[in-house]
Copies of this chain bind each other. A is one copy, B any other.
Amino acid sequence: MPKVSDDRLAARRREILDGARHCFAEYGYDGATVKRIEESTGLSRGAIFHHFRDKEALFLALAHEDAERMADVAAEQGLVQVMRDMLARPQDFDWLGTRLEIARKLRTDPSFRSAWLAHSADVEQATLRRLERGRQAGRLRDDVPTDVLVRYLDLVLDGLITRLATGQPTDDLHAVLDLVEESVRIER
């Protein structure tokens, strides 16, 4: 297939993802009907579902993008930096509310659940590797197993997502993240 076509396909895929992200942010998972996804992407359902099998696949592709971005930051700068980025640009995380709305689906739909958890695992792995490096460099506390620290940071991240998704103020969370960061370090 000639290069130009690949570029066009990638651009089309990008348009669909961006439009769908806005649509999920605005209407929620259930509220993001195919008709509304058509409107927010400006594309027909035929074009959309040429790229993504169904709404679920589209949603999981967005979650996968998030996870990749978070894993990159987590690998380089740690999971606390991922959280600081969220605090700095809450408007970019509008769509996170959708992550809460799918709680029931996660609990009751095993295949959706395993696809979703695979993404979380990427972020956990990136966090784990960074913490291991921190441990080797003597920055990380050594009295608690690294996997406990990963789960701890992950739990705080879930809390932060909930906070953002419910529209609660987050200005006052910078000092909290300082505390979180410090609690995985070697000394106060």
A139 on interface, CB distance cutoff 8 Å: no
Asked if A103 meets B159 with Cβ closer than 8 Å, knowing A148-B179, A176-B151, the reply is no
A106 on interface, CB distance cutoff 8 Å: yes
Once the chains are docked, how many angstroms separate the CA of A63 from the CA of B133? 43
Report chain B residues within 8 Å CB of A20. none
Indicate which residue in B152, B157, B167 contacts A176 across the interface (CB closer than 8 Å): B152
A36 on interface, CB distance cutoff 8 Å: no
Once the chains are docked, how many angstroms separate the CA of A46 from the CA of B165? 35
Once the chains are docked, how many angstroms separate the CA of A157 from the CA of B30? 27
**Are A103 and B100 within 8 A (Cβ)?**
yes
Which A residues between 121 and 174 are near B, CB-CB below 8 angstroms? 143-145, 148-149, 151-152, 154-163, 165-168, 172-173
**Are B101 and A188 within 8 A (Cβ)?**
no
Indicate which residue in B144, B154, B165 contacts A103 across the interface (CB closer than 8 Å): B165
Asked if A106 meets B166 with Cβ closer than 8 Å, knowing A158-B159, A160-B155, A179-B183, the reply is yes
Closest to A113 in B: B167
Once the chains are docked, how many angstroms separate the CA of A168 from the CA of B154? 12
Closest to A31 in B: B104
Kindly list the 5 A-B residue pairs having the minimum CB-CB distance in the complex, ordered from nearest.
A159-B159, A107-B167, A158-B159, A100-B100, A183-B183
- Residue contacts A-B, CB under 8 angstroms, 26 given: A28-B104, A97-B104, A97-B107, A100-B162, A101-B101, A103-B165, A106-B167, A107-B166, A108-B167, A113-B167, A117-B168, A144-B179, A148-B179, A149-B179, A151-B175, A151-B176, A152-B179, A155-B156, A155-B163, A156-B156, A156-B159, A158-B158, A159-B159, A159-B162, A162-B162, A179-B183
